[in-house]
Amino acid sequence: MSQRRPLPSVVQFNQLLTSVTKMKHFSTSLHLFNQMCSLGLPVSNYTMSIAIKCCCQLYRTKDGFALLGCCFRRAIAPNQFIYSALLDGLVLEDRILEVEMLFKKLIKQKLCEPDVVMYNTMIKGLCKFSINVTALALLRLMEQTNCKPSIVTYSTIIDSLCKDKMMDDAFKLLNEMVYDKRILPDVITYTSLICGLCNMGRWDEASKMLKEMEDENISPNVKTFTALVDAFCKEGKVKEAEAVINIMIERGEFPDIVTYNSLIDGYCLRGEMIKAREIFDSMTLRGLIPNVVTYNSLLNGYCKNLNIEKAVQLFHEMTGKGLKPNVVTYNTMIQGFFQVGRCVDARKLFDEMHAQGQIPDQCTYGIVLEGLCNNRQVEEALSLFHLMGDSRLTSDIVVYTILIDGAGKCGKFHIARNLFHGLSIKGLKPVVRTYNVMIGGFCREGLLGEAKSLFLKMEESGCPPNNITYSVFLQGCLKNKHYDDVEMLLQEMDDRGYSLDASTLSLFIDHIAAGLLDRSMLKLLGKLVY
DNA sequence: ATAGGGTTAG
For residue A458, what pLDDT is reported?
Answer: 93
For residue A392, what pLDDT is reported?
Answer: 65
Instruction: Confirm if A4 and A15 have CB atoms less than 8 A apart.
Output: no
Mean pLDDT of chain A: 92
Single-letter residue type at A490: L
Q: Distance (Å) from CA A119 to C1' B2?
A: 23
The answer to whether A364 CB is within 7 Å of strand B is no
The answer to whether A192 CB is within 7 Å of strand B is yes
For residues A335-346, give the mean pLDDT. Answer: 94
How far apart are the two ends of chain A, measured CA to CA in Å? 75
User: What Å distances lie between residue A338 and A303, A369, A464, CA to CA?
Assistant: 10, 10, 33
For residues A208-237, give the mean pLDDT. Answer: 92
For residue A238, what pLDDT is reported?
Answer: 94
Name the residue closest to B9, CA to C1'. Answer: A258
- SS3 state of residue A485: coil
Q: In percent, how much of chain A has pLDDT > 70?
A: 99
The answer to whether A71 CB is within 7 Å of strand B is no
The answer to whether A195 CB is within 7 Å of strand B is yes
The answer to whether A471 CB is within 7 Å of strand B is no
For residues A108-116, give the mean pLDDT. Answer: 95
For residues A131-150, give the mean pLDDT. Answer: 94
Instruction: Give the CATH fold of the A114-219 domain.
Output: 1.25.40
For residue A394, what pLDDT is reported?
Answer: 67
Q: Is A128 left (phi over 0), alpha (psi -120 to 50) or beta?
A: alpha
For residues A56-65, give the mean pLDDT. Answer: 95
Q: Which nucleotide across the nucleic acid strands is nearest to A192, CA versus C1'? A: B7
For residues A27-48, give the mean pLDDT. Answer: 95
**Distance separating alpha carbons of residues A381 and A44, to the nearest angstrom:** 57
Burial class of residue A142 (count of CB atoms within 10 Å of its CB; 0-12, 13-18, 19+): buried
| Dihedral angle computed from the Cα positions of residues A236, A242, A248 and A249, in that order, rounded to the nearest 10 degrees | 150
Name the residue closest to B3, CA to C1'. Answer: A46
> Where do the CATH 1.25.40.10 domains begin and end in chain A?
1-108, 114-219
**Distance separating alpha carbons of residues A145 and A425, to the nearest angstrom:** 45
Q: Distance (Å) from CA A224 to C1' B4?
A: 25
For residue A331, what pLDDT is reported?
Answer: 95
Positions on chain B within 7 A of a protein C-beta: 1-10
- SS3 state of residue A357: coil
The answer to whether A115 CB is within 7 Å of strand B is yes
Instruction: Confirm if A241 and A262 have CB atoms less than 8 A apart.
Output: yes
Asked whether the predicted pLDDT for residue A371 surpasses 90, the reply is yes
**Distance separating alpha carbons of residues A516 and A514, to the nearest angstrom:** 5
**Structurally, what CATH architecture does the domain formed by A1-108 represent?**
Alpha Horseshoe (1.25)
Instruction: Confirm if A394 and A382 have CB atoms less than 8 A apart.
Output: no
Instruction: Confirm if A455 and A473 have CB atoms less than 8 A apart.
Output: yes
Q: Which nucleotide across the nucleic acid strands is nearest to A227, CA versus C1'? A: B8
Asked whether the predicted pLDDT for residue A516 surpasses 90, the reply is no
For residues A392-416, give the mean pLDDT. Answer: 85
Q: Which nucleotide across the nucleic acid strands is nearest to A84, CA versus C1'? A: B4
Asked whether the predicted pLDDT for residue A384 surpasses 90, the reply is no
Under DSSP, the state recorded for A391 is S
Burial class of residue A376 (count of CB atoms within 10 Å of its CB; 0-12, 13-18, 19+): middle
Q: Which nucleotide across the nucleic acid strands is nearest to A19, CA versus C1'? A: B2
Name the residue closest to B8, CA to C1'. Answer: A223
For residues A362-385, give the mean pLDDT. Answer: 89
Nearest to A443 by CA among A407, A486, A479, A405: A479
The answer to whether A9 CB is within 7 Å of strand B is yes
Q: Distance (Å) from CA A20 to C1' B7?
A: 25
For residues A470-475, give the mean pLDDT. Answer: 93
The answer to whether A22 CB is within 7 Å of strand B is yes
Name the residue closest to B4, CA to C1'. Answer: A81
- pLDDT tens, residue by residue, A146-197: 899 999 999 999 999 999 999 999 999 999 999 999 999 999 999 999 999 9
Q: Which nucleotide across the nucleic acid strands is nearest to A300, CA versus C1'? A: B10
Q: In percent, how much of chain A has pLDDT > 90?
A: 77
Q: Distance (Å) from CA A212 to C1' B5?
A: 26
Q: Distance (Å) from CA A505 to C1' B4?
A: 60
Q: Which nucleotide across the nucleic acid strands is nearest to A159, CA versus C1'? A: B7
Nearest to A304 by CA among A353, A279, A350, A337: A337
For residues A476-490, give the mean pLDDT. Answer: 91
Asked whether the predicted pLDDT for residue A239 surpasses 90, the reply is yes
Asked whether the predicted pLDDT for residue A393 surpasses 70, the reply is no
Instruction: Confirm if A86 and A99 have CB atoms less than 8 A apart.
Output: no
For residue A400, what pLDDT is reported?
Answer: 87
Neighbours of A156 (CB within 10 A): 27
Burial code (b: 16+ CB inside 10 Å, e: under 16) for A91-129 equals: bbeebeebbbebbeebeeeeebebbbbbbbbbbbbbbbe
